Amino acid sequence: MIKTMYYKIKHRNVFNSQAEKQQILAIKRSRSSIHKLNEIKAQTPVIHGVNDLLIPIEHAKKYLKFHLDAKKYYIRSMGHDMSSPILKPMINKILNFLSN
């Protein structure tokens, strides 16, 4: 699954404004379920780009207050999408997280 994700991101050559519009619409339509985060019992990674303009990093910080066992990864050089230079190190962190 991770290799497939890496391939798709690495070979995406153009910005897909239609996909971004769909993401924004889905965010606007969805209701908050932040109150359910404290029901999660497994340790969870929270990966968020510091430069994310679609969903600001304050959202990730707010969620962490409800799920104290979460492992946070704030990536300074990342926006909403994971770019190729970030992808390999992030996959390694995810694999390390999953193996522990």
Domain-wise residue ranges, the chain: 2-99
Query: 0.85 exceeded by the pTM?
Result: no
Q: Which fold has domain 2-99?
A: Rossmann fold (3.40.50)
Q: What are phi and psi of 15, to 5 degrees?
A: -75, 130
Using CA atoms, how far residue 95 sits from 3, 8, 22, 99, in Å, is: 11, 18, 29, 6
23-65: pLDDT as tens digits:
777 777 877 777 777 787 788 888 888 888 888 888 888 888 8
71-93: pLDDT as tens digits:
888 888 888 877 778 888 888 88
